[in-house]
Chain A
Amino acid sequence: MLYRESGQFKTTYAADQAILPIKQDLYFVILAILIAVAIPFFVSNYVIQALLLPFLIYSLAAIGLNILVGYCGQISLGTGGFMAVGAFAAWNLMARIPDMPPLVAFILAGLIAAGAGILFGLPALRIKGFYLAVTTLAAQFFLIWLLQRPWFVGYSPTGVISAQTIEILGWRVDTPVDRYLFALAVLIVMALVAKNLVRSATGRKWMAIRDMDVAAEIIGIRPMITKLKAFAVSSFFVGIAGVLWAYLYLGQLEAEAFDIYTSFDVLFMVIIGGLGSILGSFLGAAFVVIVPILLNVIPGALGLPLGTAMISYIEIFIFGSLIIFFLIVEPHGLARLWSIAKQKLRLWPFPY
């Protein structure tokens, strides 16, 4: 009975269409945000750097990809490429335009990534499904190649460049705590935007295209525009995630850091977390970040220490198997398991 919605009546459509129409959910989200803000002050810098920052940034990328795959039904294997476009666009904007404010540069970088998304989304005009998925590999391989050209890395001989420091209104985003809070702020704002989009007419059009594109077109949805909007919005999110990855996590830029396995990782988060769920994007990102750490800790605790190489092999195997598992058993991923848990909590501790 912890999670009881009876007695909460909505008297306006506005209340019923709210993001969190049920009070317990609202309290939960507020609590989660409070904990998220407080947590960096209680944990070591190592935890922030190795666990929390990747979680936040991957969540953002997963939300972006989920918009495209989970909501609009267009598979993309080019996530890494679009992340790289965001990161390198931000670096070049700040390196080449004097006094470029970082926030403006980041937003422009997101827009440039969105442009790249539209460009490589254009084949969606004619092809769909796994045909389109394979052509997004063109984006992945071409963009990474392009960003290794000398111009994009400021003619750095190694191809690696270091990210500029971020300073916003006198706040130097420097220590791990600062970087964490910056990423958190970006994530909260963008998650809200994503939620707004998917519950609006825009989101319904995406889902209509996903569920049955022919019928969607016949009720007047223009498939091309709708798909391109999804590509643009998704790539914007992914591009910003790329910026954060380079500037807050790596501290340097290298196109190779956004290889095809980055694309797969983000796709895994979306599938494991739940296709078509914003909450699922968070759960999937958390899962993908936590599992390797558990694999590090658990065998050791059981007295079976494994080498780091072995752990990474097991990790690959487990993720592959989990993808199959979730696709067979629960295509809506962890997010669905969460809502089933909520159903149970509604009655708990009574059996019926």
Chain B
Amino acid sequence: MAAQPEPKPGHRQAGEILLKVENVDLAFGGVRALREVSFEVRRQQIFAIIGPNGAGKSSMLNCINGFYHPNSGTIAYKGAPRKRMRPYQAATQGIARTFQNIALFKGMSTLDNIMTGRHLKAKATLLENAIWFGRAQREEMEHRKFCEGIIDFLEIQQHRKTPVGTLPYGLQKRVELGRALAAEPELLLLDEPMAGMNLEEKQDMARFILDVNDEFGMTICLIEHDMAVVMDLSDHIVVLDHGEKIGEGSPEEVSSNPRVIEAYLGTSEEEGA
């Protein structure tokens, strides 16, 4: 149990390859957002993608969950290279994510938001739901129970029935994590989970991320700006700059990589947000 953020020993890097990104290229019109990016995410890892603004981090995440389609290169998940796909198919394969700008369902309560994350596990049909009987009701209770577990884990019990739009920012981020967890994903993508948080909220979020990784054995791939957090949390880091991979390795290796230092120092005034 690693409840405190601290550098990980190397033993957890031994998992098999879950996601393999090879020579991925992505362009919007004339702008190349990603150039020949390759890396591997192994099971049980906390994997981080870092880089200055506009380095292509979010684009990379969007490619992984099928929202963008790479112009060339392959992304193989669980050993199977993927064809052109819709984002919902990534979810069915066991990939869940959170968003840089919170993408919660604003009209719904915390509980309902987290329950939507469960829906891939729901089998009841429209007609069964219409009469609220048998499987529909049974499933609803099972999912409720599971989601209550997540609500306890994330310590948001008192906000269960609050419309999420009225929650403070830090809590909304938590609810979003809860919604992703509800799907019981194998790969969890976190897009700047701590952006805009104060120190205390960051510590809470770091604790949740480590616990998720430890207790549920979920593989985590995250993007984050806060270097201290990334260095503390991650097992393995990829550094992007202008769509290109400029460094990769353990936190120690990355922080001593001269290209990485140059990229960060050179653009440090653009950091933030």
Contact = CB atoms under 8 A, between A and B. Distances in A.
**Do A and B touch (CB < 8 Å)?**
yes
Given A221-B119, A229-B126, A207 B92 contact: no
Contact of B119 (A14, A193, A205, A223): A205
Contact of A196 (B99, B104, B130, B180): B130
Contacts of A269: none
Contacts of A207: 105, 107-108, 112, 116
Interface size class on chain B is 35 or more
Given A211-B108, A219-B96, A197 B119 contact: no
A200 B119 contact: no
Given A13-B141, A217-B86, A220-B119, A196 B132 contact: yes
A207 B115 CA distance: 12
Contacts of A211: 104-108
A220 to B, nearest CB: 3
A212 interface: yes
B14 interface: no
B32 interface: no
Nearest to A222: B88
A128 interface: no
A14 B132 CA distance: 11
Interface string B125-162: 01001111000110111011100100000000000000
A202 interface: yes
Interface string A208-222: 101110111111111
Given A13-B141, A204-B112, A204-B119, A219 B91 contact: yes
A276 B180 CA distance: 25
Given A200-B140, A218-B88, A233-B126, A205 B105 contact: no
B134 to A, nearest CB: 12
A215 B131 contact: no
B5 interface: no
Contacts of B129: 196-197, 200-203
Nearest to B62: A218
B120 interface: yes
Given A200-B132, A201-B122, A218 B108 contact: no
Contacts of B130: 193, 196-197
Contacts of A210: 105, 107
Contact of A193 (B65, B115, B131, B145): B131
A24 interface: no
Contacts of B90: 218, 220
Interface string A5-40: 000000001101100000000000000000000000
Contacts of B179: 219
Contact of B103 (A14, A17, A204, A212): A212
Nearest to A214: B103
B107 A276 contact: yes
A281 to B, nearest CB: 17
B124 interface: yes
B264 interface: no
Contacts of B120: 220
A218 B87 contact: yes
Interface of B: 65, 67, 86-88, 90-92, 96-97, 99, 103-108, 112, 115-120, 122, 124, 126, 129-132, 136-137, 139-141, 143-145, 148, 179-180, 183
